[in-house]
Every structure is written in structure tokens, then in C-alpha cells.
Amino acid sequence: MHFRRMPIEVESPEQMGYDTIRNNLSESSYTDTLLRDTGIDTGLYDMLLAYGSHAGHEGLRQLIVKNTPLKRDDVLLTIGAAGALFIIATSLLGKGDQLIVVRPNYATNLETPRAIGAELKYIDLRFEEGFALDLDQIERAITHQTKYISVTYPHNPTGVCLTAGELRQLTALTERKGIRLLVDETYRDMVFGEPPPLAVEYGDHVISVSSLSKTYGLPGIRVGWIICRDPQLMETFLAAKEQIHICGPVLDEEIAYRYLQQKDRYLPPIRADIRQKFDIVKSWMRQQEHFEWVEPGGGAVCLPRMRQPEKVDIDKFYDILLKKYGTYTGAGHWFDMPRHYMRIGYGWPSLASLEEGLQSLTRCLVEAIR
């Protein structure tokens, strides 16, 4: 494999230093959680710091599939959703193997297959089409060489969602074609309205990925997971996990377990807060002369763009946005997109910081017009 660092990680706010940014509109998650605020009594002094179960904390795996037809053994815990994506790509792909992948995407979904030397066939989502997924285009792209299809819903970076019906059609198409489907569902609990079923509920050929990072603001406990109902494939994923790090971090998994036990308490206020922040972005967007967007249907991000990029000095725009206004967004190149697109993460900042950041985007664009 040939690794190279991705701009989204090199330029991530934690690498830049959180103290260098006043209005952080670059995150894709909900506000980071203070352990104390969860009210969890960790009681961690009594924990034995031994290797844990290789598949992961059994109670936690059970909780992840609570209220679904799935079983605990369909779940493999990983180091974040990022770890899950790495295990899946390296298990299913070799050099020259073909993969169909939606673009833009969370960068790892593109970069790990590239690092493997796989042949990527892109399904490009277009602003003009509301970033909608074209199932006919996917069907046309499938060949006998296709190892799997990789999608992310709710989508990062646009926040566009699939309805339960669309998800069913996609899973039916891939099943009919005998191809595996990877659905990165890391933002699922942040869908506005009722989330669709877990994609993996639609068939044994589907692989779901998620984590606690985004919806719950817990990216520092590196707990994610793969769900799949194909036991042979799960055995391969476990083998990959064991070769990378044997088991997961027992402390993180225990905290995740205690947190998810109280999911019904934590989730409603988080969802209400995200909705309030979304309404702020929506009303800001209504007043914009120089920005346009596709309104998201969930998650905590959107991908607006400048209406007339040819009239804007884009380097100057990002430069003064941070240096003068202390505001930071995810520039388009984080997602293989032109830089006049930018991801705005509205779930992470405080209400005041979000408002200030949005106002500075408006001002900054005017200042950067040539």
C-alpha cells in the first residue's frame, strides 16, 4: 500500500490547534462532549486492563443492534468508523480491483482504496442535480470486476439523505447484481425526521459502518463498528482487526457501553440542538446573494458554493476568513471538489459562534471579490 496524508487530516482543526480558530465551522460532528457532563460514573479503577474480547465489548455490541432484527455477533467493534473503513477496504480490495464509489465523500472512502492501488469508478454527485444518487448510473457502472459499491448516507459533505425506499432500491440492485454494498452510516442518527432502517437489515451482502463520533460528539473515544450478517466475511474482518490491533481499547469500549445504555436520554436534546442550528444556517442562506446550496436532509454539514467563483480571489477568501475573522470551514479540496465549494459544519460550534462564523463568511466573500 502507498500511504499519503489527506488534506482533510493535515488541515484538520485539531492539527492546526483549536486555539487558532474562533469560529470552527469545519467539523462534521456534534459538539465534543465533556465526560463529566455525561454523568457517567466510570468507576474505572476497578477495571482490569487486560486484552478485551477481540470482536469487542459484548454488552456494547448487543446495545448497538438493540431494537433491530440483528444479532450481537453481526457487530464487530473497530477503532472509530475510520478503522472500520480501513478493515473493509483492505479485506475486500487488492491492487487493480474495481470499486464503485460516490464522490464527493469522506476522504478515507476514496483514499484507502487508492492507497491499495484499486481502480476507482466514481459516481459524481452534482450540485445541479441536488447531489442526488442516480441508481441507473450505478447500474451502468457495475461490471464483473466490481468488488463493492461504497456510499455514505446521510452524505458527508452535503448532508443529502436517502429515503428508506431509495435505500431499499439500492440494496435490491446490488443484491440482484451479486455485489456487496458498503453503507457508511456514521450520520444516521442525525437524519431530520425518522432515520431509515440500518442498511444491513436489507441483506447479507450489505455492510454498515458507524461510530459514536459524530452524533454524540465522542470522537475521542475511538469506538466505531461494522455490522454485517455474512459470518464468513465477519471472520475476515475480525482477522484483519486482530492483525492491526488485536482488540479495541477496553476503557473506551466501557465508556461507550455506559453512554449507549442512556442513549434515549442523550439523543433528543442533541437532535433538538442540531435542528436549532440548522434553522440558523437556513435563514442565513436565504439572505445570501453570493452563496447557494442544496438544502441537507440530515447530518450536521452542508456543502454550499460561491455563485460566481470566477469573480472571487478564492485563496484570499480563505486566507482572510481565518486570519481576519477567525472562521474556518472545510474547503472543497478536502473532498476532491473545487475550492469554491465549502463544507460548513453547523452542529459543532455554539449558537453564537455559528452566527458569527456565518456572518463573517458573507463579509469575507464581498472582500474577496476581484
Ligand X SMILES: Cc1ncc(COP(=O)(O)O)c(C=O)c1O
Which chain residues interact with ligand X by CB under 6 A? 28, 80-82, 106, 152, 156, 184, 186, 211, 213, 219, 224
* Nearest-approach distance from CB 112 to ligand X, in angstroms: 11
For residues 81 and 228, which CB has a smaller minimum distance to ligand X in the complex? 81
- Residue 308 CB, shortest distance to ligand X, in Å, is 29
Please report how close the Cβ of residue 258 comes to ligand X at its closest, in angstroms: 18
For 16, 25, 186, 328, the CA distances from 191, given in Å and listed in that order, are: 30, 19, 11, 24
> Hey, CA dihedral for 356, 358, 359, 361, is it positive or negative?
positive
Q: What backbone torsions phi and psi does residue 216 show, to the nearest 5 degrees?
A: -100, 0
- DSSP conformation class of 223: -
Instruction: Give the span between the Cα atoms of 156 and 170, in whole angstroms.
Output: 18
Nearer to ligand X, 82 or 233 (CB): 82
Nearer to ligand X, 184 or 201 (CB): 184
Nearer to ligand X, 80 or 347 (CB): 80
- Minimum Å gap between C-beta 298 and ligand X is 12
187 vs 325, which CB is nearer to ligand X? 187
Q: Which H helix or E strand runs over 151?
A: strand 146-152
Say if residue 219 is preceded by a cis peptide, omega within 30 of 0: no
DSSP per-residue letters across 79-96: SHHHHHHHHHHHHH--TT
d(CA 78, CA 247): 8
Residue showing cell 469573480: 311
* Closest CB to ligand X among residues 81, 314: 81
Q: Which residues of 73-97 are buried (b: 16+ CB within 10 A; e: fewer)?
A: ebbbbbbbbbbbbbbbbbbbbeeeb
All cell numbers assigned to 199: 442498511
Q: Which is nearer to ligand X, 184 or 254 (CB)?
A: 184
CB of 336 to ligand X, least distance (A): 14
The residue among 82 and 93 lying less far from ligand X, judged by its C-beta, is 82
For residue 195, whether the previous peptide bond is cis, meaning omega lies within 30 degrees of 0, is no
Q: Tell me how far apart the alpha carbons of residues 98 and 282 are, in angstroms, rounded to a whole number.
A: 39
Residue nearest to ligand X (CB): 80
CB of residue 288 to ligand X, shortest distance in Å: 25
Q: How far is CA 243 from the centre of its chain?
A: 25
**Distances from the Cα of 214 to the Cα of 274, 303, 307, 363, angstroms:** 12, 17, 29, 29
Find out whether 273 and 187 touch, Cβ atoms under 8 Å: no
State which residue, 52 or 157, has the beta carbon closest to ligand X: 157
CB of 107 to ligand X, least distance (A): 8
From CA 332, how far away is CA 335, in angstroms rounded? 6
Smallest distance from ligand X to CB 337, Å:
15
Contact 78, 84 (CB under 8 A): yes
Minimum CB–partner distance for residue 184 and ligand X (Å): 5
Closest to ligand X by CB, 187 vs 291, is: 187
| Distance in Å, CB of 172 to ligand X, minimum | 23
